[in-house]
A and B are shown apart, each in its own frame.
Chain A
Amino acid sequence: MGGQLAMVVRGLPEEERQAVMSQLKEAFAPFVADGRYELPGVALGTVGR
């Protein structure tokens, strides 16, 4: 999830945390593959001298 977001979620009251996780489950449904979640990402690499 990433540090800052994870800390926010862990600090929520349990009911609100469950609501967030429920929304996440729904939003991540398109990314289920082979019994796990697989989410794409794109990093931007930069090089200079």
Chain B
Amino acid sequence: MAPGWERWRAQLEEALSPVCEWLIGEIAPRPGDTVLELSAGPGDTGFAAAAIVGERGRLISTDFSPDMVEVARRRGAELGLQNVDYRVIDAERIELDADSVDGVLCQSGYMLMADPATALSETRRVLRPGGRVAFSVWGAPERNPWASIAGRIIVDRGQMPPPEPGAPGVFSMASEERTRALSEAAGFSAVRTQEIPVLLAFRDLDEYESG
């Protein structure tokens, strides 16, 4: 998966820039802060925070996939970032001390985890008091035809079983109520949600398939 991600990095970065901007705005990092990004993928969301926290601060860019961590490492080197630690981390067992980071970012990650409740509890554990998590998941299937149409076709043709409710997947946290409940059960307070519209563009179906 990682080579595909790297190829699509620029296109995804543009398409998901509204999400990135919202996430960064919500954790509002300050110079000197330590920011953790979970499921960082190619790393771009966290890199935006790295630029803000500056040389006195630190970004810990993490992913469950070692290949993806290497994608982010290469991208960070291209950007000349000096304040980023790249680590393979399982979000359900975050190998960081309690109360050790000022903010946590996670774009399109928790929904793919086997146990998002544990991952959110771990997130709360490593956040300092008052620190914020900002994360995004995908909304309802009918609002996301870029993913739901292909999924429906493949399921209808019997090539993939229909997703089980609550199982990890693109739409597993599409319910605002479930996402809010998971967050609050993990110990987060002042939980807010917001819809963020995006537009995914591609030249042709070959490009769509390979993305």
Contacts and interface: CB of A to CB of B under 8 A. Distances in A.
Interface of A: 1-10, 12, 16, 19-21, 23-25, 27-28, 31, 36-49
22 contacts: A2-B147, A2-B150, A2-B211, A4-B169, A21-B205, A24-B205, A28-B149, A31-B145, A36-B201, A39-B199, A40-B198, A42-B138, A43-B195, A44-B193, A45-B134, A45-B135, A45-B195, A46-B133, A46-B134, A47-B132, A48-B188, A48-B189
B117 interface: no
Interface residues of B, number: 66
B100 to A, nearest CB: 16
B36 interface: no
A20 B157 contact: yes
Interface of B: 1, 4, 16, 18-19, 22-23, 26-27, 108, 127, 130-140, 143-147, 149-151, 153-154, 157, 159-160, 169-170, 173-174, 176, 179-180, 183-184, 188-205, 208-211
A7 B4 CA distance: 11
B198 A42 contact: yes
A8 B196 CA distance: 28
B147 A43 contact: no
Instruction: Name B's interface SS.
Output: mixed
B202 A36 contact: yes
Given A31-B145, A37-B202, A43 B137 contact: yes
Given A12-B159, A24-B153, A46 B179 contact: yes
Contacts of B211: 1-2, 6
The 7 closest A-B pairs by CB, nearest first: A48-B188, A39-B146, A42-B139, A42-B143, A48-B191, A47-B26, A43-B196
Contacts of B192: 46-48
Contacts of A31: 145
Nearest to A30: B145
A5 B143 CA distance: 18
Nearest to A33: B201
A49 B135 CA distance: 12
